[in-house]
């Protein structure tokens, strides 16, 4: 039983294998307080931390200073407007225009097993893996209720949080803010880690000291974005990969978000996460419910490495659903960087022919196969096959590719509409726009107003019709611009503040429909590269395109940031041509292969045109993928050195759960004069086991390899990589 209620002390204790989380109920008014989150407690007597006995400001003792209580008490789910001046989690506006809310304990429910939410991606677990606590709170004045939801995943050390708001009042109410989780703690000299970037430079790790005031990471772009990521971790100062405490939150959501840490006047910190309140106002009718998305919380007292491995295990076990999640993905070749828009059936078949001879298993036809799509200025929305390019039609092409023994995959961008498209000429009101104002273009396209059922149905049918027409086994679902000019031709004025969230729900609904109708489809999400790489999308697709930057060296940083939270099995990574199309860098083909091996692995180049010596290496790389993918996909990830930090070399490893096998990747970015070799202390091995290193004489104990390390001869030149493969003797 991982959830206990201690009636006498009025405490709930949530336990996972290595962590505990304690919530208390205090005072006659039954405020819900946060007592503890951290290393596992055997003893539950932590209620004294709420300082109820010596707190002179508890309202029942001293209502004169209620505000002092509200503004300092460690709250489990703080509401806005009555005297807690820190960032609140929930805010409303009544029909009379009033704000202010106090959510106090009413009752609770404990159940075993967890199902996902009805219309939102969220975690799941069996009765053996997971227990759920729901605490019902109520605001007596308005009748508004909030059910605080906790999923306790004992096996993987994760606690999920969310909230369902129910309007039990007689009148509608506007929700102007609904966050999903809050963590009130004392400041342990925390540093906040977050992920930032831009197009082609996603998820770069940043760390800043937490100081007084508010520090937030947020997106109001309608998607989780290239620029910021719905993640924050507070780590104790000087915490490393192996040591120190870490409190992390990650949002299972693909739209506007905010995560914030605030240090207050008493050096307490409050960390909150949820849907971004900017331009958000949800009209909740009497008796209606609003389900907020889920937050995944991880606590580690063994540094960032442990946090990483916990997230990886959790997503692999409790969020990703695809039948591919524990399977090798077919090695694909995508024609985007090979041809851009300039291709036809013959060209694609010539790529497929050559690729199949080299062991590549799937051809993916990217952008440009439909309507009048000869460049990126037109035709989004016109999802009918361009038979000038694809002579003989799509089915003919797919059949020909299948005859070569290869699978076939296709690209879509179903959420978009080009002004120069038949669809737009027929339905200009289908684009998201503010009536009376010309909407801003981005890549010469608008976003479809998917909040409208008929628009959603049209977009879905376009995709489904194509998939029904031929043996298509993979879809790359792209989204190449962010939302702006928020307006819908159908939503009433007082519901316009629902558009951003309704848009995300619509995308989820479409993807759910897709995987229900095509359960064996391999879906890869994408957004101009990695702008919608988030746990929400992972619920629908087991892999997401990491970045449009395929340069092996840039990828080291992007993949380090991504792998900080996401399993390697989810990171779309390809070997591409050189000079690299984004940065113009030339790197060895071999190194490009090593770096792509840390993801789904595939190719993005014209295999008929690359240098002969590169082409000759492809069968070796294919064999390498088949040899290591089970380990890479299912193993434990260890970060050993970071090029982003040392500007010099990178090293990470994956160790099998039984510690019988390990693979370390070393990439020397820039060589240094007079350096002959370096010592690398390996991580994650069993100190008691004896290992051999492939290609070398001798055996070594795990202890020696981890404490003393191995010697790596410095390669001659820049951008050189090396794999170190260990097996137990």
Binding of residue 87 to ligand GLA (CB under 6 A) = no
Q: Pick between residue 529 and residue 721 the one whose CB is nearest to ligand GLA.
A: 529
Q: Pick between residue 142 and residue 480 the one whose CB is nearest to ligand GLA.
A: 480
- The single residue among 73, 503, 545, 589 that binds ligand GLA, judged by CB under 6 A, is 545
Q: What residues are paired with 693 via a beta bridge?
A: 726
Q: Pick between residue 255 and residue 529 the one whose CB is nearest to ligand GLA.
A: 529
DSSP state, residue 58:
-
Tokens, residue 620: 């070796």
What span, in angstroms and rounded, lies between the C-alpha atoms of 458 and 95? 36
Residue 324 gets the label, from left (phi > 0), alpha (psi -120 to 50) or beta, of alpha
Q: Pick between residue 304 and residue 573 the one whose CB is nearest to ligand GLA.
A: 573
Binding of residue 336 to ligand GLA (CB under 6 A) = yes
* From 139, 478, 577, 636, active-site residue: 478
Classify residue 557 by burial, with Cβ atoms within 10 Å: 0-12, 13-18, 19+: buried
Q: What angle do CA 406, 409, 230 make, to 5 degrees?
A: 130
342-381: which residues touch ligand GLA (CB under 6 A)? Answer: 366-367, 376
What span, in angstroms and rounded, lies between the C-alpha atoms of 296 and 306? 15
| Minimal distance, residue 488 CB to ligand GLA, in Å | 25
Q: Pick between residue 59 and residue 381 the one whose CB is nearest to ligand GLA.
A: 381
Q: Give all strands (DSSP E) within 605-656, no chain letters.
A: 636-641, 649-655
| Minimal distance, residue 480 CB to ligand GLA, in Å | 5
Q: Pick between residue 244 and residue 529 the one whose CB is nearest to ligand GLA.
A: 529
The 8 Å CB, 24+ separation contacts for 607-616 are 607/333, 607/338, 607/351, 607/354, 607/355, 607/358, 607/360, 608/350, 608/351, 608/354, 609/338, 609/577, 610/577, 613/589, 614/589, 615/354, 615/358
- The single residue among 526, 537, 617, 641 that binds ligand GLA, judged by CB under 6 A, is 526
Tell me the C-alpha to C-alpha distance, in Å, between residue 231 and each of 69, 193, 402, 665, 701: 30, 8, 41, 26, 38
Binding of residue 548 to ligand GLA (CB under 6 A) = yes
Q: Answer for the pair 589, 579: CB distance below 8 angstroms, yes or no.
A: no
Q: Answer for the pair 677, 713: CB distance below 8 angstroms, yes or no.
A: yes
Q: What residues are paired with 604 via a beta bridge?
A: 576
Q: Pick between residue 545 and residue 625 the one whose CB is nearest to ligand GLA.
A: 545
Answer yes or no: 548 catalytic: yes
Q: Pick between residue 376 and residue 461 the one whose CB is nearest to ligand GLA.
A: 376
| Minimal distance, residue 482 CB to ligand GLA, in Å | 13
Tokens, residue 333: 């070749």
Q: Which stretch binds ligand GLA (CB under 6 A): 167-175, 492-500, 525-533, 580-588?
A: 525-533
Omega before 299 within 30 of 0, i.e. cis: no
Q: Which residue matches tokens 């005859």? A: 403
| Minimal distance, residue 337 CB to ligand GLA, in Å | 8
Binding of residue 394 to ligand GLA (CB under 6 A) = no
Chain position whose Cβ is nearest to ligand GLA: 367
469-498: which residues touch ligand GLA (CB under 6 A)? Answer: 478, 480
| Minimal distance, residue 334 CB to ligand GLA, in Å | 7
Q: Pick between residue 458 and residue 545 the one whose CB is nearest to ligand GLA.
A: 545
Q: Which stretch binds ligand GLA (CB under 6 A): 38-46, 393-401, 522-530, 607-615?
A: 522-530
What span, in angstroms and rounded, lies between the C-alpha atoms of 615 and 510? 39
What span, in angstroms and rounded, lies between the C-alpha atoms of 323 and 521? 9
3-state SS, residue 550: coil
Q: Which stretch binds ligand GLA (CB under 6 A): 64-72, 526-534, 591-599, 653-661?
A: 526-534
Q: Answer for the pair 239, 298: CB distance below 8 angstroms, yes or no.
A: no
- The single residue among 24, 33, 277, 528 that binds ligand GLA, judged by CB under 6 A, is 528
Binding-site size, ligand GLA (CB under 6 A): 12
Q: Answer for the pair 415, 446: CB distance below 8 angstroms, yes or no.
A: no
Q: Which stretch binds ligand GLA (CB under 6 A): 164-172, 523-531, 643-651, 681-689?
A: 523-531
What span, in angstroms and rounded, lies between the C-alpha atoms of 28 and 284? 29
Return all residues near 492 (Cβ < 8 A) that are at least 6 apart. Answer: none
Q: Answer for the pair 66, 84: CB distance below 8 angstroms, yes or no.
A: no
408-437: which residues touch ligand GLA (CB under 6 A)? Answer: 411
What span, in angstroms and rounded, lies between the C-alpha atoms of 321 and 123? 10
| Minimal distance, residue 332 CB to ligand GLA, in Å | 12
| Minimal distance, residue 448 CB to ligand GLA, in Å | 16
Q: Pick between residue 160 and residue 480 the one whose CB is nearest to ligand GLA.
A: 480
| Minimal distance, residue 414 CB to ligand GLA, in Å | 13
What span, in angstroms and rounded, lies between the C-alpha atoms of 617 and 58? 71
267-306: which residues touch ligand GLA (CB under 6 A)? Answer: none
Answer yes or no: 27 catalytic: no
CA dihedral 684, 205, 89, 132 (to 10 degrees): -20
| Minimal distance, residue 222 CB to ligand GLA, in Å | 17
| Minimal distance, residue 531 CB to ligand GLA, in Å | 9
Q: Which stretch binds ligand GLA (CB under 6 A): 60-68, 144-152, 216-224, 524-532?
A: 524-532
- First-residue to last-residue Cα distance in the chain: 40
Classify residue 87 by burial, with Cβ atoms within 10 Å: 0-12, 13-18, 19+: buried
Question: Checking DSSP bridges between strand 231-236 and strand 190-196, what pairing results, if any?
Answer: antiparallel
| Minimal distance, residue 393 CB to ligand GLA, in Å | 22
CA dihedral 333, 336, 338, 344 (to 10 degrees): 90
- The single residue among 197, 222, 244, 529 that binds ligand GLA, judged by CB under 6 A, is 529
* From 228, 382, 534, 548, active-site residue: 548
157-176: which residues touch ligand GLA (CB under 6 A)? Answer: none
| Minimal distance, residue 551 CB to ligand GLA, in Å | 14
584-613: which residues touch ligand GLA (CB under 6 A)? Answer: none
Binding of residue 253 to ligand GLA (CB under 6 A) = no
Which residues contact ligand GLA by CB under 6 A? 336, 366-367, 376, 411, 478, 480, 526, 528-529, 545, 548
Catalytically active residues are 478, 548
């Amino acid at each position: 039983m991982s959830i206990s209620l201690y009636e006498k002390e009025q405490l709930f204790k949530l336990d996972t294998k290595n962590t505990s989380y304690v919530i208390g109920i205090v005072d006659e008014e039954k405020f819900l307080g946060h007592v503890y989150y951290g290393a596992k407690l055997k003893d539950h007597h932590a209620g004294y931390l709420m300082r109820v006995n010596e707190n002179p400001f508890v309202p029942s003792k001293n209502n004169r200073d209620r505000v002092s209580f509200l503004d300092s008490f460690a709250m489990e789910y703080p509401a806005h407007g009555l005297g807690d001046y820190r960032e609140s989690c929930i805010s409303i506006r009544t029909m009379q225009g009033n704000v202010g809310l106090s959510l106090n304990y009413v009752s609770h429910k404990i159940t075993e097993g967890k199902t996902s939410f009805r219309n939102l991606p969220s975690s799941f677990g069996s009765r053996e893996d997971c227990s759920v606590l729901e605490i019902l709170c109520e605001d007596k004045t308005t009748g508004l209720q909030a059910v605080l939801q906790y999923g306790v995943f004992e096996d993987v050390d994760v606690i999920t949080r969310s909230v369902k708001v129910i309007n039990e009042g007689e009148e509608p109410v506007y929700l102007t803010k609904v966050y999903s989780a809050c963590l009130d703690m004392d400041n342990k000299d925390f540093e906040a880690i977050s992920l930032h970037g831009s197009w082609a430079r996603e998820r770069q790790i940043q760390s800043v000291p937490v100081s007084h005031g508010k520090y937030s990471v947020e997106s109001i772009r309608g998607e989780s974005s290239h620029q910021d990521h719905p993640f924050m971790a507070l780590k104790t100062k000087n915490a490393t990969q192996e040591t120190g405490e870490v409190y992390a939150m990650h949002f299972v959501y693909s739209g506007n978000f905010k995560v914030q840490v605030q240090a207050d006047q008493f050096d307490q910190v409050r960390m909150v996460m949820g849907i971004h309140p900017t331009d958000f106002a949800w009209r909740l009718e009497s008796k209606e419910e609003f389900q907020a998305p889920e937050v995944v919380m991880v606590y580690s007292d063994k540094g960032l490495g442990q946090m990483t491995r916990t997230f990886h295990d959790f997503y692999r076990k409790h969020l990703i659903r695809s039948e591919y999640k524990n399977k090798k993905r077919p090695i694909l070749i995508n024609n985007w960087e090979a041809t851009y828009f300039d291709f036809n059936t013959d060209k694609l078949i010539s790529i497929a022919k050559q690729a199949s001879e080299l062991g590549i298993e799937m051809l993916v036809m990217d952008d440009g196969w439909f309507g009048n799509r000869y460049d990126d200025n037109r035709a989004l929305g016109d999802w009918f096959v361009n038979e000038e390019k694809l002579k003989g039609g799509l089915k003919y092409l797919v059949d020909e590719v299948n005859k070569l023994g290869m699978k076939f995959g296709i690209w879509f961008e179903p959420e978009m509409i080009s002004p120069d498209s038949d669809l737009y000429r027929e339905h200009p009101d289908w684009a998201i726009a503010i009536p009376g104002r010309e909407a801003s273009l981005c890549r010469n396209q608008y976003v479809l107003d998917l909040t409208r059922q008929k628009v959603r149905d049209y977009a879905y049918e376009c995709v489904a019709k194509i998939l029904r027409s031929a043996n298509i086994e993979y879809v790359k679902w792209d989204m190449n611009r962010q939302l702006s000019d928020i307006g819908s031709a159908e939503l009433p004025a007082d519901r316009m503040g629902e558009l951003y969230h309704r848009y995300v729900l619509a995308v989820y609904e479409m993807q759910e429909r897709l995987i229900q109708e095509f359960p064996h489809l391999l879906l890869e999400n994408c957004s101009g590269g990695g702008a919608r790489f988030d746990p929400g999308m992972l619920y629908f697709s087991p892999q997401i395109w990491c970045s449009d930057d395929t340069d092996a060296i840039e990828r080291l940083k992007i993949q380090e940031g991504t792998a900080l939270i996401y399993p390697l099995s989810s990171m779309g990574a390809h070997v591409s041509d050189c000079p690299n199309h984004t940065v113009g860098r030339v790197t060895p083909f071999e190194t490009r292969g090593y770096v792509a091996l840390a993801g789904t692995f595939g190719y993005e180049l014209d295999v008929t045109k690359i240098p002969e010596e590169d082409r000759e290496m492809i069968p070796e790389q294919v064999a390498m993928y088949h040899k290591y993918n089970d380990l890479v996909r299912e193993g434990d990830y260890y970060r050993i050195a970071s090029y982003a930090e040392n500007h010099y070399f990178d090293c990470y490893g994956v160790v099998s759960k039984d510690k019988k096998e390990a693979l370390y990747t070393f990439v020397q970015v820039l060589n240094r004069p007079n350096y002959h070799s370096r010592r690398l202390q390996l991580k994650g091995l069993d100190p008691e086991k004896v290992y051999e290193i492939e290609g070398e004489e001798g055996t070594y104990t795990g202890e020696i390899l981890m404490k003393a390390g191995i010697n790596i001869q410095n390669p001659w030149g820049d951008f050189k990589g090396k794999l170190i493969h260990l097996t137990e003797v």
